[in-house]
A and B are shown apart, each in its own frame.
Chain A
Amino acid sequence: MLKILIPSMFMLLTTWTSPFKQLWSTILMYSFLVATLSLTWLAMPTDTGWFYINNYMAYDPLSSPLLVLTCWLLPLMIIASQNHLAEEPENRQRTYISLLISLQIFLILAFSATEMIMFYVMFEATLIPTLIIITRWGNQMERLNAGTYFLFYTLAGSLPLLVALLIYHSSMGSLSYLSLTSLPLTCSNLYANKLWWMACLLAFLVKMPLYGVHLWLPKAHVEAPIAGSMVLAAVLLKLGGYGMMRIMIILDPLTKELSYPFIILALWGVIMTGSICLRQTDLKSLIAYSSVSHMGLVAAGILIQTPWGFTGALILMIAHGLTSSALFCLANTNYERTHSRTIILARGLQMVLPLMATWWFLASLANLALPPLPNLMGEIMIITSLFNWSFYTLILTGLGTLITASYSLYMFLLTQRGPIPHHLILLEPSHTREHLLLALHLLPLLLLIAKPELVWGWTA
């Protein structure tokens, strides 16, 4: 573990001391090396046990797919950011890369934390580099509002979480994950215990996001530069899901009744945000709302607390991370050519950029959960476990799947098919870098078809 963490920390040093001409290649190579080394985390000799590194860091089948996703994403972010940062002064380029690397360090520490306060500190720590990336390097005036919404929604949810963790600590004595399974809080039916339950979950529900508290996400995703959107969609939302899965253990008998409204809200959110996607004119906003929709399904799967629910949630998180990040990269290829996010401004692109249309096709298919991709596996497992809980959820989830398929198809048809408008005939051809970026996103997704046990979590 330290073989990955210490090199990541020293990547910061490399950023500031490499010669400027070799900066991007050096950092790219370094981060790919770290990403390749991180693949060793996927090898699990035992099925459900923890692998301890030291007293403070460990990983298990739940956190190792997320850790690998985090490490894999850094080289992809570097590839994606290379173009739009090319005109910036040298020190600003170095600062941007340092922000991305520090985000990775905090995320590795968050996913491998063994103690909940360490997880909390790192969960909050990821907010600062993301805030700076969004507000400093975003492209429109609304980015300041987006940064404020992002920071305050997340903090307003997570400060009660801190107090709830401290309450648990003062009554149970320890917040280590290892002891959480054997120390559930014995609770009577006091109203205060219900508030404590809510405080534990609110931070993660805001981060996921749940439908009612999701307003920060479209703003943040849209205003962020490409690396910001990628890391937000791929990993930071999964921090919420991961935290929820970890903390469910101690919330036990209260969750049976208290989770009811949140499951319904999550499923309703799947339909609502899917419908909003059908009416979007802004491409990045469409992808952002599609993220809310998928994560609503993840939230419902986690709140159901069955093995299939958890497994489905984890697979869907990993698959959605790769898919959503790929879609944002595709949207960015449009943005770098037309400097606009309006969908109808860049349509009919299959005529001009046929190979990019292949990637659009694959990414849209992944988004609508086509078999045999892991997206479908996740969704099917969650839908099945929800059906097992109550038959009527099938109406909501079935409708949600239908709407997901229709907006994914809508996005693909609108951007790729149809006659190409005259102002786009002279578009810059696709760079090899962009093809590499999308291949690196979609190849792991395709490879996961062959061995989904890597990302199944505890039920391996």
Chain B
Amino acid sequence: MNPYILTILLFAMGLGTTITFASSHWLLAWMGLEINTLAILPLMCQSHHPRAVEATIKYFLTQATAAAMLLFASITNAWITGQWNLEFMSYSLPTTLVTVALALKIGLAPLHAWMPEVLQGLDLTTGLILSTWQKLAPFCLLLQINPSNTSLLLILGLASTLVGGWGGLNQNQLRKILAYSSIAHLGWMILVLQFFPSLTLLTLLMYFVMTFSLFISFKVNNSTTINSLSMSWSKAPIISSMVPFILLSLGGLPPLSGFMPKWLILQELTKQSLAPLATLAALSALLSLYFYLRISYAMTLTMSPNILLNALPWRLPSNQHTLPLAITTSLTICLLPLTPAIITLLTL
């Protein structure tokens, strides 16, 4: 893509999110979300492939619906309370409608159906932007509203973890797996939103780091299916030996950093006397772990039959810029001992 166009689009995406971050007026927040959506659409269909265009249209339709619902909710709130401020939503109808609209925007179950199909149509980099940057603005709004109904967020959260787990089990396309993993992690974030919002932010940031590592590892191997990952040991041996740790971190196994958000969320839920919910959410993480484990089996822990010639790609020099991958992989694996420091940072 023309570098000027790319610059304008990326700048516009940043602008949209920043406007939403900085806004205290509902109209301005909605505007930021719309700018964000519109800016990513050309990035999504830049390859002009019919599948990519289909993904773009699906994304546009769902996000536009969500934004319209959001606008409707804020207008209703303005009608009832006479003001447009973000934090002062005290009636249940607008608050619930805003929550559901934002759930559609980020892809929580049961409003998740667009996510795997959209991610499948994109290339890995744009998919990364969709999974990480695009979640920032809706979460900023979710963190600021007072939820009206306790059980709504809990149902959204638990349904997302279960759907994210079960949905990914039958997939062999990596982008769909990443979509379901995203849904599951978003479920964990929503579970604790009304009790300890800093943990939502912590989970979001940890998810960003972990999924960034995974997306970039897949991009380095230029693979989009599980089967094509089986040759990664010859292209990038170190990356293929680190990916099981990234995957197990996404699955939430101690002593990797992915355990940190899950542990703290379970702690908060048990403090709020929601122990059965905590147990169910913890066990649903095992579903996701199964397909993460399957990917690591294919990539690192088994070697498929092959000819000697295919063992040579690592000898060729590569122009990949893998410094960000190195940094995020180290963070994904080694951050658990810093839990007290991170909690303190986020609860300031």
> Is A5 on the interface with B (CB-CB < 8 A)?
no
Whether A148 and B293, one on each chain, are in contact in the complex, defined by CB atoms closer than 8 angstroms, is yes
Q: How far is the CA of A396 from the CA of B256 in the complex (A)?
A: 44
Q: How far is the CA of A117 from the CA of B266 in the complex (A)?
A: 13
List 29 A-B residue pairs with CB atoms under 8 Å apart, sorted by A's residue number.
A91-B237, A121-B254, A121-B336, A122-B254, A122-B255, A124-B255, A124-B259, A127-B253, A128-B248, A135-B301, A144-B302, A148-B293, A152-B286, A152-B289, A155-B286, A156-B283, A159-B279, A159-B283, A160-B279, A160-B282, A162-B263, A162-B266, A163-B278, A166-B266, A166-B267, A166-B278, A167-B270, A167-B275, A170-B270
CB neighbours (8 Å) of B244 from chain A are 132
Instruction: Write the B264-285 contact mask toward A (1 if CB under 8 angstroms, else 0).
Output: 0011001100010011001101
> Using a Cβ–Cβ cut-off of 8 Å, how many residues does chain A contribute to the interface with B?
29
Q: Taking each of A125, A152, A159, which has the highest tally of chain B beta carbons within 10 Å of its own beta carbon?
A: A159
Q: How far is the CA of A148 from the CA of B251 in the complex (A)?
A: 14
Q: How far is the CA of A170 from the CA of B268 in the complex (A)?
A: 9
CB neighbours (8 Å) of B259 from chain A are 121, 124
Whether B289 and A155, one on each chain, are in contact in the complex, defined by CB atoms closer than 8 angstroms, is yes
Whether B282 and A163, one on each chain, are in contact in the complex, defined by CB atoms closer than 8 angstroms, is yes
Whether B270 and A166, one on each chain, are in contact in the complex, defined by CB atoms closer than 8 angstroms, is yes
Q: How far is the CA of A106 from the CA of B259 in the complex (A)?
A: 16
> Is B76 on the interface with A (CB-CB < 8 A)?
no
- Distance in Å from the Cβ of B88 to the closest Cβ of chain A? 33
Whether A136 and B282, one on each chain, are in contact in the complex, defined by CB atoms closer than 8 angstroms, is no
> Is B114 on the interface with A (CB-CB < 8 A)?
no
Which secondary structure characterizes the binding site on chain A? Answer: helix
> Is B11 on the interface with A (CB-CB < 8 A)?
no
CB neighbours (8 Å) of B267 from chain A are 166, 169-170
CB neighbours (8 Å) of B254 from chain A are 120-122, 124-125
CB neighbours (8 Å) of B302 from chain A are 135, 144
Assuming the contacts A127-B253, A155-B286, asked whether A144 and B275 have C-beta atoms less than 8 A apart, the reply is no
CB neighbours (8 Å) of A148 from chain B are 290, 293
Instruction: Write the A154-198 contact mask toward B (1 if CB under 8 angstroms, else 0).
Output: 011001101100110110000000000000000000000000000
Give 17 new A-B contacts, CB below 8 A, not counting A159-B286, A160-B283: A120-B254, A121-B255, A122-B255, A128-B245, A128-B248, A135-B301, A144-B302, A148-B290, A151-B289, A152-B286, A152-B290, A155-B289, A159-B279, A162-B266, A163-B266, A166-B271, A167-B275
Q: How far is the CA of A387 from the CA of B271 in the complex (A)?
A: 42
> Using a Cβ–Cβ cut-off of 8 Å, how many residues does chain B contribute to the interface with A?
30
Whether B275 and A163, one on each chain, are in contact in the complex, defined by CB atoms closer than 8 angstroms, is yes
Which residues of B32-50 have CB atoms within 8 Å of chain A's CB atoms? none
Q: Taking each of B256, B275, B293, B336, which has the highest tally of chain A beta carbons within 10 Å of its own beta carbon?
A: B275
Q: Taking each of B245, B254, B271, B336, which has the highest tally of chain A beta carbons within 10 Å of its own beta carbon?
A: B254
Instruction: Write the A212-230 contact mask toward B (1 if CB under 8 angstroms, else 0).
Output: 0000000000000000000
- Distance in Å from the Cβ of B249 to the closest Cβ of chain A? 10
> Is A199 on the interface with B (CB-CB < 8 A)?
yes
CB neighbours (8 Å) of A156 from chain B are 283, 286
Q: How far is the CA of A162 from the CA of B283 in the complex (A)?
A: 11
CB neighbours (8 Å) of B253 from chain A are 124, 127-128, 155
CB neighbours (8 Å) of B290 from chain A are 148, 152
CB neighbours (8 Å) of A159 from chain B are 279, 282-283, 285-286
CB neighbours (8 Å) of A124 from chain B are 253-255, 259
Q: How far is the CA of A203 from the CA of B278 in the complex (A)?
A: 16
Whether B293 and A162, one on each chain, are in contact in the complex, defined by CB atoms closer than 8 angstroms, is no
> Is A18 on the interface with B (CB-CB < 8 A)?
no
Whether B266 and A136, one on each chain, are in contact in the complex, defined by CB atoms closer than 8 angstroms, is no
Instruction: Write the A104-145 contact mask toward B (1 if CB under 8 angstroms, else 0).
Output: 001000000000000011101101100010011000000010
Q: Which single residue of chain B is at the shortest CB-CB distance from A91?
A: B237
CB neighbours (8 Å) of A152 from chain B are 286, 289-290
CB neighbours (8 Å) of B263 from chain A are 162
Whether A162 and B248, one on each chain, are in contact in the complex, defined by CB atoms closer than 8 angstroms, is no
Across the interface, B300 reaches (CB within 8 A) one of A106, A136, A160, A166, namely A136
CB neighbours (8 Å) of A169 from chain B are 267
Q: How far is the CA of A152 from the CA of B288 in the complex (A)?
A: 12
> Is A459 on the interface with B (CB-CB < 8 A)?
no
> Is B133 on the interface with A (CB-CB < 8 A)?
no
Whether B286 and A132, one on each chain, are in contact in the complex, defined by CB atoms closer than 8 angstroms, is no
- Distance in Å from the Cβ of B168 to the closest Cβ of chain A? 15
Q: How far is the CA of A379 from the CA of B279 in the complex (A)?
A: 37
- Distance in Å from the Cβ of B225 to the closest Cβ of chain A? 18
- Distance in Å from the Cβ of A287 to the closest Cβ of chain B? 25
> Is A358 on the interface with B (CB-CB < 8 A)?
no
Assuming the contacts A121-B259, A132-B244, A144-B302, asked whether A163 and B279 have C-beta atoms less than 8 A apart, the reply is yes
